[in-house]
Amino acid sequence: MAGNTFGQLFRITTFGESHGGAVGVVVDGCPPGLTIIKEDIQKELDRRKPGQSSITSQRLEQDEIHMLSGISEGKTTGTPILLIAYNKDARPVDYLHMKDLYRPGHADYTFEKKYGVRDWKGSGRASARETLARVAAGAIAQKYIKEKLGTSFISYVEQVGDIKTNIDYRSVTREQVESSIVRCPDPKVAQKMITLIEKVRGEGDSVGGIIRGVIKNVPVGLGEPVFDKLPADLGKAMLSINAVKGFDIGSGFDGVTMRGSEHNDEFVVDGKGKITTKTNNAGGTLGGISNGETIYFRVAIKPVSTIAKKQQTINSFGQQVNLEATGRHDPCVLPRAIPIVDAMAALVLMDHYLRHKAQNL
């Protein structure tokens, strides 16, 4: 199956299924000499793993990472890095009664029509468990560009259902994000979000929302026009994440209500002689190339498809049937999606940084 590889110079290929033996990733193109220890990767996986709070899936996976190649004496060697986490709490039996059904909102129908076969055990490759591999690879990318450029990634939950925070993205810290189980840096709004998620779970339903992605201290010049513009690759990265239904950057769709005189970011020189802009409606890029300002974007995530409420569907024999799904699923996937958004953003910037360096020797 094609489409399992992402990136050009910093390239990852993920493998594994939700209820198979393991999930992992091969990272190719990482420069040699980067200090990497298990904890650098594990801390990001711990932010993504199930069972971490009362509002997430209760599947009990420790997601312990194993580094099997490409690292010697704690440093990258420049050769392919193999990272793998073995599934310990897989329960394919939970899906046995649904093996011939096309679950609403899932990829069952499309996978079967495309490939003639599908893995019914927790959606196989279509499962969000595959994102463990992305987070593992993204941890390496985050560390590299943090050390080289001082770039940081601070995504947070901005909205759940109709509950939204208006906190200024420029002031948010990773510590504020991690202080709440819903990963919203606004304490009062976070509690309202938690209450809503608990209510929805009690009803056997699910709820979606919006993640705000923020990338600080981005150098000028990253991006490859015309087709590999930085925001275009960020959009592809985010839209490749399970359940993502929308992406915008900078002013995004809100910008259509503004005039050009309002939207244009005027250039100025700060007290240190650095060229900057008065505003940042462009979201940190111009012409598809980073301009040195903070990159900020939004990712819209749909409600989780697996719910306990009775739904009508059809089976592979074309018969109308009722579905009451079972299993361990998130009533709202946003808190666990934060490290995935961070990881995918880091993979894009890492790849474009190496491409920029290769072009400007």
State the Cα angle at 293 between 44 and 352, rounded to 5°: 60
User: In terms of pLDDT, which residue wins out, 361 or 168?
Assistant: 168
Q: Are 347 and 6 in contact (CB under 8 A)?
A: yes
Using CA atoms, how far apart are residues 330 and 343, in angstroms rounded to an integer? 20
Confidence of residue 18 (pLDDT cuts 50, 70, 90): confident
Q: What one-character-per-residue DSSP string does 172-194 give?
A: --HHHHHTSTT--S-HHHHHHHH
pTM of the model: 0.95
pLDDT of residue 51: 74
Residue 105, pLDDT score? 92
Q: How confident is the model at residue 22 (pLDDT cuts 50, 70, 90)?
A: very high
Domain 5-359: give its CATH superfamily: Chorismate synthase AroC (3.60.150.10)
Q: Where are the alpha helices (DSSP H) in the chain?
A: 38-48, 108-115, 131-149, 174-178, 187-202, 230-239, 260-263, 334-359
Domain definitions of the chain by residue range: 5-359
Helix (H), strand (E) at residue 290: strand 289-290
258 Rama class: left (phi>0) / alpha (psi -120 to 50) / beta:
beta
- pLDDT at position 302 is 98
Alpha-carbon distance 21 to 85, whole Å? 9
In the structure encoding, which two tokens stand for residue 179, read together? 């202080």
Q: What angle, rounded to 10 degrees, do the helices at 334-359 and 38-48 form? A: 140
CB 281 within 8 A of CB 255: yes
**pLDDT tens, position by position, 269-303:** 998 899 999 999 999 999 999 999 999 999 999 99
Q: What is d(CA 3, CA 14) in angstroms, rounded to the nearest whole number?
A: 10
Is residue 318 predicted with pLDDT exceeding 80? yes
Specify the pLDDT at position 90. Answer: 67
Whether 133 shows a pLDDT value over 70: the answer reads yes
Tens-place pLDDT, residues 91-126: 666 777 788 899 999 999 999 999 998 888 878 888
pLDDT at 1 over 60: no
Residue 328 has pLDDT above 70, yes or no: no
Per-residue pLDDT for 81 more than 90?
yes
Q: What is the pLDDT of residues 167-218, one digit of tens each?
A: 999 999 999 999 999 999 999 999 999 999 999 999 999 999 999 999 999 9
* Helix, strand, coil abundance in the chain, percent, nearest 5: 35, 25, 45
| Token reading at 328 | 């361990």
Q: Is 132 helix (H, G, I), strand (E, B) or coil?
A: helix
